[in-house]
Amino acid sequence: MAEPTVTLKYETTDVFTNVAFGGNPLAVVFGAEGLPDATLQKIAAEFCYSETAFVLPPADPKHTARVRIFTPVAELPFAGHPNVGTAFVLVRQGEAFGRPVDTELSFEEQAGLVEVSCLEGPHSTVANWPEGVVGAVLSAPQPFATHGTVSAAEAAACLGLGAEDVVGEPVIGSTGGPYVLAELASAEALERCRVAPAAFAASAAMAKVGKVLGYLPPPGAKGGGGSDDLQLRCRMFTARGTEDPATGAANCALLGLLASRRAGEGTLRATIAQGVEMGRPSELMAEADYTGGAVTAVRIGGKCVPMMCGELRVPAG
């Protein structure tokens, strides 16, 4: 007898880009209510994207949905591009769980409530694209926090670099999930970054976090001076031996870190380029509100491009 199956709907979108085959691809899956966690994990492994988002009914009907986020190997409490992409997909669909979806959404996640606002305007690089929703901006679910430092040598090794390529002691920062944030000494060092899973395994501190963002700030990004409008470059690597083309959560933590070093009161804004070396260029727009070294809010967003839609047939149990 054939094993009973359930049919799920899915859509994919490229996130943090306005061109197809750029940015970070995301699968958004519907209809997974009641399926065991092991099946959700297998679906994420089947897509083999950096993350897959499952849209489920919210516990509180005031919210848009409950969103669970899986990498190919584990569930995450929070991630950036799944929230941006899921909001984009839901608003384009126009409804969720029998209710209309507005351009202001709220997602229940392990890390807390994630508020998302959609971006509207022309999407001129996509043929026959009507004016309307072109992307989204999320507010990080937790305040920016630091969780100590790691040595320059350990972080550098996980980027395939030497200790001399990293400035100071990298900070472990979070707005819902931890990332090692390593400032790089040069654009040439950024170019030389490589996956190095063995280096993660050799360092208890790096293995515990499992993710490192190497970033290249412009002059004035540190300290109390400089412009509040930055152009940043970064690359992000994982203990699984992968590079991510666009990492919203890591860049939320990075903006929080840079804003925490500012004197006075204001909003630090950054345009962040990631994924360039991978051939999937991404553009992330980030903001962090700060007052005298305290970071009060962090936001990140960008554009999205719809790519695929279809059905999954998976075991019912």
In this structure, what CATH number is given to the domain that contains residue 106? 3.10.310.10
Q: How high is the pLDDT of residue 292?
A: 87
Task: Find the domain containing 115 and state its range.
Answer: 5-139+304-315
What is the pLDDT averaged over residues 40-53? 98
Specify whether 66 is located in the same domain as 175: no
How confident is the model over 100-109, as pLDDT tens digits?
999 999 999 9
Number of structural domains in the chain: 2
Residues 6+ apart with CB under 8 A from 194: 159, 160
Residues 153 and 189 in one domain: yes
Give the model confidence (pLDDT) of 256-283 as tens digits. 999 999 999 999 999 999 999 999 999 9
230-256 burial, b at 16+ Cβ within 10 Å, e below that, comes to: bebbbbbbbbeeebbbbbbbbbbbbbb
Identity of residue 222: K
Task: Give 255 or 121, the one with higher predicted confidence.
Answer: 255
**Domain co-membership, 295 together with 308:** no
Same domain, 156 and 287: yes
Closest C-alpha to 81, from 235, 202, 250: 250
Residues 153 and 217 in one domain: yes
Whole-Å CA distances, 118 to 6, 136, 172: 31, 4, 30
Considering the domain architecture, whether residues 93 and 239 belong to the same structural domain is answered as no
Are 81 and 9 contained in the same domain?
A: yes
Is residue 150 located within the same domain as residue 104? no
* Residue 69 near residue 112, CB atoms below 8 Å: no
Q: Specify the pLDDT at position 1.
A: 58
How far apart CA 268 and CA 262 sit, in angstroms, is 9
pTM of the model: 0.93
Considering only CA atoms, give the Rg of the chain: 19
Q: Do residues 296 and 220 both lie within one domain?
A: yes
Do 128 and 163 lie in one domain? The reply is no
Residues 169 and 206 in one domain: yes
Predicted pLDDT at 223 = 45
Residues 33/57, Cβ–Cβ less than 8 Å:
yes
Which residues participate in catalysis according to the annotation? 51
Rounded to whole angstroms, the Cα distance separating 207 from 287 reads 29
72 and 86, same domain (yes or no)? yes
